[in-house]
Amino acid sequence: MALFLSTFVNKVDKKGRVSVPAPFRAALSGESYQGFVAFRSHKHDAIECCSYSRMEQLSQSVDTLDMFSQEQDDFTAAIFADSLQVPFDGDGRIVLPKKLLDYIGVAGEVSFVGRGATFQMWLPEKFDAAQVASRARIKEAQSTLKLSPQASSSDKGESS
């Protein structure tokens, strides 16, 4: 599974090209599709990004919802109908489609924000403000996180 860590700020050129951080490209290198999938966030002024295999997991999750329910219709419209496959060029860059650039308001720079199994792209100033707000909510609520049990080597398909 791809793991995206840290935050990187990269310049976007006039053609909408931007270099994807090397650690993010490395995380995606094991995928059959050499690029990622991007769609407008339904929660933030950001672009949600993930591997193609993660999109397949999302599709399976949506398939568990009642067929033709409003919830299923809303998720498929917000995620799949809006998704774009974004391939890497030979230099590890992507071309951000205009509709995505316009959605987040990017003109000169974009923040690549690791979120574990996924990442987001933000206008740097908006991400900085959102991160401050997130940290404040966690601190105020004194939130904790239960650590998921580690898979054993037999669960990972390794033999002992």
Given this model, what pLDDT does residue 156 score?
Answer: 53
Distance of alpha carbon 2 from alpha carbon 20, whole angstroms: 15
Reading the block at residue 153, the tokens are 């080597």
The residues facing 103 across adjacent strands are none
- Of 116 and 150, more confident: 116
Question: Average pLDDT of the chain?
Answer: 92
Tabulate helix, strand, coil % of the chain (nearest 5). 35, 25, 40
The answer for residues whose C-beta is within 8 angstroms of residue 104's C-beta and 6 or more apart is 45, 46, 47, 110, 121, 122, 123, 126
The answer to whether residue 155 scores a pLDDT higher than 90 is: no
Q: What is the pTM of this model?
A: 0.89
The model's pLDDT over 17-65, given as tens digits with 9 standing for 90+, comes to 999 999 999 999 999 999 999 999 999 999 999 999 999 999 999 999 9
For the ranges 35-49, 70-84, 101-115, 145-159, the lowest mean pLDDT is seen at: 145-159
Q: Residues 85, 93: contact at Cβ < 8 Å? A: no
Q: Helix or strand or coil: residue 79?
A: helix
Where residue 150 falls among pLDDT bands split at 50, 70, 90?
confident
pLDDT band at 1 (very low <50, low <70, confident <90, very high): confident
All domains in the chain, ordered by first residue: 7-141 (3.40.1550.20)
Please compute, for residue 143, the number of CA atoms within 13 A of its CA located in the half-sphere on the CB side: 8
